[in-house]
Structure 1
Amino acid sequence: MPRFAANLSMLFTEVPFLDRFERAAKAGFTAVEFLFPYAFATADIRARLDANGLQLVLHNLPAGDWDAGERGIACIPGREAEFCAGVAQAIEVGTALGVPRLNCLAGKMPAGADEAVLRATFVANLKFAAAELHRAGLQLLIEPINRYDIPGFFLNRTEQAIAILDEVGVPNAFVQYDIYHAQRTEGEIAATLQKHLARIGHVQLADNPGRNEPGSGELNWPFLFAHLDRIGYQGHIGCEYKPANGTEAGLGWRQKLAQ
């Protein structure tokens, strides 16, 4: 059976963030991930991880003004100093929390922006971030996100992400492959996973349509989980979905589908 990590930004959201760690452990998870740790004391998160025997496998770099609708700043010219400061903050916090990898959200394309300039900005920022993370012993991830959910998001296809990583040209930068986003944008999930497995540093899931738990939509999860085992994926699979009827009520898919 694959190793699953509970995404605490999506699961157990009926309780305060710091209480979700205990809920995840009681639900049988041994690993967690979440969007951002920066609104909480690092020591408090570390204490919840330790008290519940949980491994933190992923969080994101700071991504601009999230409440105002920003979804990353890495591709946006003129925000480089803010991006670099965010990298330093993420490394400091992530190291204290024991996270092995950090995800960099590219951001949404400003109206009228030149895509070549956005790409050059993104590549330059990634080179800086990857070098800083390498010194800290961390992996850097970039995540293609579908433009139905986030219109104008710069990075939206796997091949685009691979080409950008080729340009960045560092050994510690990988794709965060979210099956839900990939299904909405390009399909070919099994073939893409197999083709690019060596370039994929983390996998996330949700079913489609609806972004709910596996088994609620069109994807063949028993096949995909077995496929990930067959091709040798060794990492966790982040459960980044919206529970249809409460988190615990919808967790039966782990035993039903991951056989």
Structure 2
Amino acid sequence: MKRRNFIKNTAAGGMALTGLASVAGVTAAETVSSAPVSFKLNYAPHLGMFKNSAGDDPIDQIKFMADQGFTAFEDNGMMGREPAMQTKMGETLARLNMTMGVFVVAKGGNLANPFAAGKKEYLDIFLDGCKRAVDVAKRVNAKWMTVVPGSFERRLPTGIQDANVIDALRRGAEILEPHGLVMVLEPLSDSPDLYLQTSDQTYMICKAVNSPSCKILYDIYHMQKNEGNVITNMERTWDEIAYIQIGDNPGRKEPTTGEINYKNVFKFIHEKGYTGVMGMEHGISKQGIEGEKRLIEAYKEVDSFEV
């Protein structure tokens, strides 16, 4: 099957597989991958991350992830998929004992429909997205969904903007809380116009909303860019962190490609007793199957911290 077309990583192994493939009448690219890794944390790839190894079909890609030892999965664009595909993906994840990570609540984009403006039309778009997200979450067995409050409303004082954002999020939490769902707020580094940018600001907002359905998505890549001091700031805001995402800096590629000491960061997260999802929201530094092999090796390396 395409999801198993992963070449082993030693020269001798490659030669042996080529010989076997010739006898069987298949190419080396169609051979079975090595045994899955037993990772210490629940790393979650996304669709497209292993398309060269598994093919274009979403289900085959999820199966391939499981074959490599990954125990979770995330899909930002899940709300845009057909309900039949959502259901099929949810059933596949359940069968493979994989945890569904975040998808993004549809509200029109990261900068669009800003909660800080306090406008009813923007609030209505967000609340409609929350209502539709409940149905999607049921299909895919999801618990967490990403929310970005939008841009600053620079004509308003900061305190008024904060109050508007808190009010909007309380309204969203009222929709999600009866279903045991959690919106995770993500501070981002993509634009200086974004309202939510630091972990302490997000912590304050979550405390003010005061709901189990409103927590922090701590994206290590974005927070390294915006504020640094990753382990200390995670410690300070830990009781509101419900979801973590990964990406090295600079470049937003896999761990080991940038300046972040991910082995130490992951050791800290493991020692905190975190059992949630670690979303792999980053690109890959090399193209093709070789890049996908390197991705797996990078996660083996940074997951090798002592416990």
TM-score (norm 2): 0.75
Higher helix proportion, which one? 2
Tell me the CA shift for residue 188 of structure 1.
1.1
Please list the CA deviations of residues 83-126 of structure 1 after superposition, one character each: whole Å capped at 9, or x if unmatched: 11111011111122110112211112256454444322211110
Paired position in structure 1 for 2:272: 231
Paired position in structure 2 for 1:102: 145
Tell me the CA shift for residue 194 of structure 1.
1.9
Paired position in structure 2 for 1:90: 133
RMSD after superposition:
2.3
Contact 1:3 1:237 in 2 (8 A): yes
Paired position in structure 2 for 1:253: 298
User: Where in structure 2 are the equivalents of 1:56-71 lying within 5 Å?
Assistant: 56-64=100-108, 66=109, 70=111
**Greater mean deviation of Cα atoms: 82-91 or 12-21:** 12-21
Secondary structure at the aligned position of 1:196 is classed as helix
Residue 41 of structure 2 is aligned to residue 2 of structure 1: yes
User: Where in structure 2 are the equivalents of 1:8-23 lying within 5 Å?
Assistant: 8=47, 11-12=49-50, 16=56, 18=58, 20-23=61-64
Contact 1:71 1:105 in 2 (8 A): no
Contact 1:165 1:173 in 2 (8 A): yes
Secondary structure at the aligned position of 1:181 is classed as helix
Secondary structure at the aligned position of 1:103 is classed as strand
**Greater RCO between the two (CA within 8 Å, min separation 6)?**
1
Secondary structure at the aligned position of 1:175 is classed as strand
Secondary structure at the aligned position of 2:135 is classed as helix
Tell me the CA shift for residue 3 of structure 1.
1.5
TM-score (norm 1): 0.88
Paired position in structure 2 for 1:169: 210
Equivalent of 2:161, from 118, 121, 125?
Answer: 118
Paired position in structure 2 for 1:243: 284
> Cα 1:16–1:77, aligned 2, differ >3 Å: closer, same or farther?
farther
| Counterparts of 1:57 and 1:197, CA distance in 2 | 19
Tell me the CA shift for residue 181 of structure 1.
0.7
Contact 1:18 1:45 in 2 (8 A): no
Paired position in structure 2 for 1:50: 91
> Cα 1:6–1:230, aligned 2, differ >3 Å: closer, same or farther?
same
| Counterparts of 1:117 and 1:194, CA distance in 2 | 29
Contact 2:86 2:139 in 1 (8 A): no
Identity over aligned pairs, percent = 23
Secondary structure at the aligned position of 1:7 is classed as coil
Contact 1:72 1:104 in 2 (8 A): no
Contact 2:91 2:140 in 1 (8 A): no
Aligned pairs, how many? Answer: 253
Tell me the CA shift for residue 224 of structure 1.
1.1
Secondary structure at the aligned position of 2:81 is classed as coil
| Counterparts of 1:177 and 1:254, CA distance in 2 | 19
Query: Which residue identity lines up with residue 82 of structure 1 in the other structure?
Result: I
Equivalent of 2:124, from 74, 81, 103?
Answer: 81
Higher strand proportion, which one? 1
| Counterparts of 1:233 and 1:38, CA distance in 2 | 27
| Counterparts of 2:112 and 2:46, CA distance in 1 | 18
Contact 2:247 2:280 in 1 (8 A): yes
**Greater mean deviation of Cα atoms: 163-172 or 107-116:** 107-116
> Cα 1:77–1:44, aligned 2, differ >3 Å: closer, same or farther?
same
Paired position in structure 1 for 2:241: 200
| Counterparts of 2:262 and 2:142, CA distance in 1 | 27
Higher radius of gyration, 1 or 2:
2
Tell me the CA shift for residue 151 of structure 1.
3.1
